[in-house]
Structure 1
Amino acid sequence: MKQDHISYLLALHREQDWAAAAIACQISPAQLKKAVAEAEREYGCSLVKTGTVFQGFTTEGEKVVVWAQGLSEAISTLKHVFAVSNSRKAIAPLLDRRSVSPKRLEAPGADSQEIDLMIEAALRAPDHGGLHPWRVLVFPADSRARLADLFEQEKLRRDPLASSEDLRRAREHATRSPTLLAFIISPKLRMRVPEREQWLAAGSALGNLLNAAHQLGFGAIMLSGERCFDVLLCSELGVESTEYLAGFISLGSIRAAPPQRKPVMLDSVRAFWHSGEPSVETPAKSQVCLDSAASNAISESQAPR
């Protein structure tokens, strides 16, 4: 039996009327009756009771309808399974992305063209006002030794009694990764784009950059830590007082794959809103919005790092 014939029989069973079923199938009543007659010849007996108007299905016809319903449901399920599979395949790079620690990376790292391509991807991230409130600092190979000195000095400022092993690890953070970048949040003074939206834009850009690295076959991770808040280190790196050193991005070829990420239930981050039924406890009025009317724009007296 043709699949169209199955659809026609199900429509006729649902509508219980030739004309209504024909409209549902987007064919004429004559075409519908012809298709049913073909199905009856193929099956070998009448499926629909005879009469000038629709009188219902015969006993055999009812059996065929039940089989057709089961087949239709199976086909719908199969189509859904295929659609879900294709959807997951389309975004597989996003579903598979993992942060890869520096100890799992090896040379070669990303070259200048690949870094530029990652930054270009970052520039395509959602960005209210197109402000690009972020920037990337690239550390060439010949700058790593000096950066290691700065990391060691920062460690000593934070912990004057740091052991030689601690200092070695601090220096290694500057030299271990095949490629090293710094990601800097650089908010702009704009009345209509509050700072929190600029932070969101910067985070989106960072996500695009890391996803681009993954697509190019690299492992990547951004690490922050206390050194990102060190005023002297930030000054040495050219981070302005109104900017924030978000962290250091390590890039390289993957030497050892990271462990699988633990599954997270969607309900832990997803809720459905229903009018009059808040999904979470209503916060205190003073905490409803961290951005008050006075902070719709970034103040010129913005606190430094």
Structure 2
Amino acid sequence: MERENLECLVALGQERDWARAAERCGVTEERLNQVVHAAEEEYGHAIVVPGQTFQGFTPEGERVLAWANDFCAAFEQLAQCFATSRRRTLVAPLLERRSVSPKRLCGPGPSAHDLALIAQAGLHAPDHGGLHPWRLLEFAGGQRAQLADCFEAEKRRRDPLAPAADLQRAREHALRPPVLLAFIVSPKARTQVPLREQWLSAGAALGNMLNAAHQLGFGAIVLSGERCFDPQLSAELGLQPAESLAGFISLGSVVQAPPARKYASPEDVLSHWQPHGTPAADVPRSPPEADLEIDPIHDDKHNRHH
């Protein structure tokens, strides 16, 4: 029996009226009668009590109706599962992106062409006024030793008694990543675009670039930490007084996948506005999804990661 015919039986069972059921199914009453008669011939029993008007289902008909209801419900559930899977596939690259510690990265890193594509992705982030209030600073391989000197000096300023292991770790932050970029927030003086909106735009650009790196097959992570607040280091990197060193982006090929972690549930961040003084209304909640992941903390305790 065709699914459409089963749906006609379900409609007749719910409406208990030939005309309303036919209208609901988008068919004529004559066609609905043909569907019922065909089902009766196929089943071998009367399904509907004979009569000029709808008199109800026979006991055998009620049994068939229950089967039809179960089938249609199962089919609808399957269709929803397929639709959910299709939607999830569309955003899979965003759901699969993970921050990858420099310890889990190796060469080769992104090429100059790759970096241009990554930067272009950042330029397509939401940006009120088209200000692109951020910039990237790349550290070439030959400059890493000098950058390591700067990182070590910053660590000494922050902790004059730092042990040799901590100083070496500070140097490794400059030397280890296959490709290293500084992400600098560079707000523009615009009365129509508040500073907080420019920071939001910079953050959106950073997210776009991390996603672009993931799509290109690279691992990436943003590490900040105390050194990003050191005025001397910022000056050595050429930052202007109004600029902020937001963090350092490490990029490379993933040699070891990060460990699995859990994400928060969408319900933890998605709520519905309830006007003051109005009774609470029942709001449908989205179906539970598979557990997501949270990026682990990498390197030493002074690093913040994104």
TM-score in same-fold range (> 0.5): yes
Show the counterpart of 1:15: 15
Show the counterpart of 2:91: 91
Distance in 1 (alpha carbons) for counterparts of 2:82 and 2:102? 38
**Which letter does structure 1 place at the counterpart of 2:233?**
L
Q: How far off is 1:268 after superposition? A: 2.9
3-state SS of paired residue (1:161): coil
Q: How far off is 1:270 after superposition? A: 2.8
CA offset digits 1:191-244 (Å, max 9, x no partner): 222111111111111111111111111111100111111112112212111111
Distance in 2 (alpha carbons) for counterparts of 1:3 and 1:9? 10
CA offset digits 1:71-100 (Å, max 9, x no partner): 111112222222222222222222222111
Distance in 1 (alpha carbons) for counterparts of 2:277 and 2:112? 52
What is the percentage of aligned positions where both structures have the same residue? 56
RMSD over aligned Cα, in angstroms?
A: 1.7
Higher mean displacement: 49-58 or 101-110: 49-58
3-state SS of paired residue (1:273): coil
Q: How far off is 1:115 after superposition? A: 1.0
3-state SS of paired residue (2:73): helix
Distance in 1 (alpha carbons) for counterparts of 2:162 and 2:227? 14
Distance in 1 (alpha carbons) for counterparts of 2:87 and 2:277? 32
**Which letter does structure 2 place at the counterpart of 1:249?**
I
Matching of residue 57 in structure 1 with residue 57 in structure 2: yes
3-state SS of paired residue (2:232): helix
Distance in 2 (alpha carbons) for counterparts of 1:167 and 1:150? 11
Higher mean displacement: 211-220 or 245-254: 211-220
3-state SS of paired residue (1:93): helix
Show the counterpart of 1:303: none
Distance in 2 (alpha carbons) for counterparts of 1:49 and 1:5? 18
Q: How far off is 1:21 after superposition? A: 1.2
3-state SS of paired residue (2:168): helix
Show the counterpart of 2:302: none
Q: How far off is 1:258 after superposition? A: 0.9
Show the counterpart of 1:129: 129
Distance in 2 (alpha carbons) for counterparts of 1:59 and 1:130? 70
Matching of residue 36 in structure 1 with residue 43 in structure 2: no
3-state SS of paired residue (1:23): helix
Higher mean displacement: 157-166 or 90-99: 157-166
Distance in 2 (alpha carbons) for counterparts of 1:128 and 1:32? 58
**Which letter does structure 2 place at the counterpart of 1:223?**
L
CA offset digits 1:15-68 (Å, max 9, x no partner): 122221111111222222222222222112221222222222222111111111
3-state SS of paired residue (2:72): helix
CA offset digits 1:249-296 (Å, max 9, x no partner): 001111111110124233332323222279xxxxxxxxxxxxxxxxxx
Q: How far off is 1:170 after superposition? A: 1.8
Matching of residue 78 in structure 1 with residue 78 in structure 2: yes
Show the counterpart of 2:140: 140
Distance in 2 (alpha carbons) for counterparts of 1:17 and 1:191? 66
Q: May I ask how many residue pairs the two structures share in their alignment? A: 278
Distance in 2 (alpha carbons) for counterparts of 1:245 and 1:227? 9
**Which letter does structure 2 place at the counterpart of 1:96?**
E
Distance in 1 (alpha carbons) for counterparts of 2:125 and 2:4? 45
3-state SS of paired residue (2:136): strand
Distance in 1 (alpha carbons) for counterparts of 2:76 and 2:182? 50
Q: How far off is 1:248 after superposition? A: 0.2
**Which letter does structure 1 place at the counterpart of 2:177?**
S
Distance in 2 (alpha carbons) for counterparts of 1:124 and 1:85? 27
Show the counterpart of 2:282: none
Distance in 2 (alpha carbons) for counterparts of 1:46 and 1:18? 16
**Which letter does structure 1 place at the counterpart of 2:47?**
L
Question: What are structure 1's unaligned runs of at least 5 residues?
Answer: 279-305
Higher mean displacement: 148-157 or 19-28: 148-157
**Which letter does structure 2 place at the counterpart of 1:18?**
W
Distance in 1 (alpha carbons) for counterparts of 2:16 and 2:115? 65
Distance in 2 (alpha carbons) for counterparts of 1:60 and 1:190? 76
Distance in 1 (alpha carbons) for counterparts of 2:102 and 2:277? 46
Distance in 2 (alpha carbons) for counterparts of 1:261 and 1:185? 30
Distance in 2 (alpha carbons) for counterparts of 1:140 and 1:166? 24
Q: How far off is 1:164 after superposition? A: 3.2
Q: How far off is 1:110 after superposition? A: 0.8
